[in-house]
Amino acid sequence: MMTAIPTLLLCFLSLNHVSAQATQKQIRDFEVHKRQDCDTQTNCNLFSGKWVHDPSYPLYEPSECPYVSKEFDCKANGRPDSGYQEWRWQPNGCDVPRFSARRLLEKLKGKKVAFVGDSITQNQFQSLVCLVYKEFPTTFVPTSHLNNKFISTEYDFSIEFFWSPFLVDLEITNEMKVILHVDEIQNNSVHWTADILVFESSKWWPEVLGRQRWDIAMEGQKNYTDMKPLVAYKKALTTWSQWVSSNVNPQTLVFFRSNSYSHYNRKRRCASEKKPIQDPSYNPHPTVYSAILQQVLSTTKFPVKFLNTSLNSALRKDGHPSMYTNLNNIGPEHQDCTHWCLPGIPDSWNQLLYATLLGA
Ligand SMILES: *[C@@H]1O[C@H](CO)[C@@H](O)[C@H](O)[C@H]1NC(C)=O
Ligand SMILES: *[C@@H]1O[C@H](CO)[C@@H](O)[C@H](O)[C@H]1NC(C)=O
Ligand SMILES: *[C@@H]1O[C@H](CO)[C@@H](O)[C@H](O)[C@H]1NC(C)=O
């Protein structure tokens, strides 16, 4: 028997309404528009909610998935507590259906999913791989030793990860200079052919990470050594937005995930955190990039679906690897309060993606 698909879902930005030169007022009006759409159509914003304790989680045990990178495999790295795995994301206005890989693959038979972004997106990619692998351990397999692409031999379905932390093209010259091509995306995007594309770009932009990752920002034939990171970010996102609007097949579902929060305390640590923030009035500080992201997405012609994981991730100070990561990468005195243990928070992003895909 078919169970009815819950009529939750889809309180995404509908992005077509705002003209190319959106003013602040237009963006505010658009925000109001958005809320009304949510109220009338679905009553539910999947991204506004809280974490509730639910011992029926995690959806897979750490030992059940061989494809988690060492840096995210907190249990194997000795993390003693496991309470951080037992939380479920609960939107305020509706329930998210429990993940079923079979249902997902039936829906996406013959389709390709691609994740594009930085290592947080890799975190999310591995989470989806594990969620599917748990139910299909013999027919869901990596296509190479790099484990960046998996296929289901039963459903002709694939999931792939493309590392592209700025989205736009990055070039390393023979002199080892790093050039960020803020108006070029061709070399990266040539690989992004999929039926479902999930993008993200945040941690490599310097105000987030602390230091600039490029020597030269190049636009047209001009070289800039002093282009402000926020300016470069806006140009790069705009390049991406134009690429999506003029190159992506309208049948493709395109998602953009917002930033994922880090939780470094004054000592640059997070290891003592054992529980999510549960204050219902808690509102994360918007990053300096979020207004630009919102503006670019709202002027993108292609109807991009926005996965707003800001609040969801900001509440989870307990979910990072901290010292239970690959210490070879960061050294024993450092902690990773940026990425996420798996199983963990990115599983919830994939559940939101799943809920959306079932409804689409
Ligand atoms: C794109 O790739 C071509 C061929 O490898 C290379 O010559 C060119 O410099 C690249 N462009 C950018 C913007 O990275
Ligand atoms: C920009 O920088 C690159 C790398 O250093 C160099 O090859 C190129 O000639 C420069 N272009 C201009 C117009 O200065
Ligand atoms: C994403 O969610 C946060 C926290 O709920 C909110 O402050 C922010 O405005 C949202 N971003 C967008 C672009 O809607």
Q: Region 279-296: what's the mean pLDDT?
A: 92
Contact 310, 40 (CB under 8 A): no
Look at 168 and 289; give whichever has higher pLDDT.
168
Q: Does residue 265 line the site of ligand 2, with CB under 6 A?
A: no
- Tell me which H or E stretch contains 189: helix 186-189
Q: Does residue 225 line the site of ligand 2, with CB under 6 A?
A: no
**Which of 317, 308, 210 shows the shortest CA–CA distance to 262?**
317
Residue-wise pLDDT for 177-220, tens only, equals: 999 999 999 999 999 999 999 999 988 998 655 678 899 999 99
| Gap between the Cα atoms of 280 and 151, Å rounded | 40
pLDDT of 4 reads 34
Q: From ligand 3's centre to the CA of 26, what distance in Å?
A: 17
* Cα angle for residues 129, 132, 134 (degrees, 5° grid): 105
- Joined tokens for residue 180: 């960020």
118 is catalytic: no
pLDDT of 26 reads 42
| Gap between the Cα atoms of 140 and 157, Å rounded | 9
- Joined tokens for residue 322: 């901290």
pLDDT of 65 reads 96
| Gap between the Cα atoms of 261 and 309, Å rounded | 9
119 is catalytic: yes
φ, ψ for residue 199, nearest 5 deg = -105, 160
156 is catalytic: no
Q: Does residue 177 line the site of ligand 2, with CB under 6 A?
A: yes
From 19-23, 60-64, 141-145, 152-156, the region with the lowest mean pLDDT: 19-23
- Joined tokens for residue 301: 């012609």
Q: Does residue 308 line the site of ligand 3, with CB under 6 A?
A: yes
Provide the whole-model pTM.
0.88
pLDDT of 2 reads 36
| Gap between the Cα atoms of 286 and 38, Å rounded | 22
Look at 300 and 333; give whichever has higher pLDDT.
300
Contact 188, 167 (CB under 8 A): yes
* Cα angle for residues 260, 266, 271 (degrees, 5° grid): 65
pLDDT of 15 reads 34
Annotated catalytic residue, options 118, 181, 339, 347: 339
| Gap between the Cα atoms of 136 and 178, Å rounded | 41
